[in-house]
Amino acid sequence: MLLFTGLGNPGARYASTRHNLGFVVVDEIARRHGCDPWRNRHHGSVSRGRLGRTDVLLLKPATFMNRSGVAVADALRFYKLKPDDVSVFYDEIDLAPGKVRVKTGGGAAGHNGVRSVESHIGNGFRRVRIGIGHPGDKNQVESHVLNDFYRSEMTIIGPVIDAVADCAPLLAAGDEAGFLNAVALATRLPAAGADPDPA
């Protein structure tokens, strides 16, 4: 079994914000692949299903972003999984809107949810970073991530969400390059390999 975790904040106030992109992605994975109904477990909401030939547990922590690692660690212990069984989907301000990068290990790059996961299970998990763009001023970052996407942004982000969800079985099978290429083809974005940067 693999654990696919989307990062976000619970509650209607945050549902459509940029910072909840991870929640939106795993919701769409569950919907498109006929996963089980969501239920409350492991300090969050979980859904089980199969992506290709792989059993996957989807998790949306209910602990708020800064404590996401509490939920991830609880699920990891319960199912006796290892950090490299975990994929974390989240928003990335240092990528242009709609760009997708995948890598295992590295730093948190200022993302509090990723930092929390690292503090609880180490940094040996796979990161699926989905770009939301930078506001251009570090003083505006918090406002940027905690506000909703503009309608114009959703013309880019919407197809990326769909493509990531559709192509998730490739990620579950360990084919990161195939996943990225399939997402790029589906969204007509330039193809990209696994993220080489150390951030």
Q: How far apart are CA 149 and CA 103, in angstroms?
A: 25
Q: What is the pTM of this model?
A: 0.92
Report residue 199's pLDDT band, with 50, 70 and 90 as the boundaries. Answer: very low
178-196: per-residue pLDDT in tens? 999 999 999 985 555 555 4
Yes or no: say if 40 and 94 are a contact pair by the CB < 8 Å rule: no
The mean of the pLDDT values for the chain is 93
Yes or no: say if 26 and 133 are a contact pair by the CB < 8 Å rule: no
For the CA atoms of the chain, what is the radius of gyration?
15
Amino acid identity of residue 89, one-letter, is F
CA dihedral sign, ordered 134, 6, 160, 128: positive
Q: What are the chain's domains?
A: 2-187 (3.40.50.1470)
So which residues are the catalytic ones? 19
The DSSP call for residue 60 is E
Yes or no: say if 102 and 128 are a contact pair by the CB < 8 Å rule: yes
Query: What are the residues facing 57 on neighbouring strands?
Result: 3, 48
SS3 44: strand
Tokens of 73: 């660690």
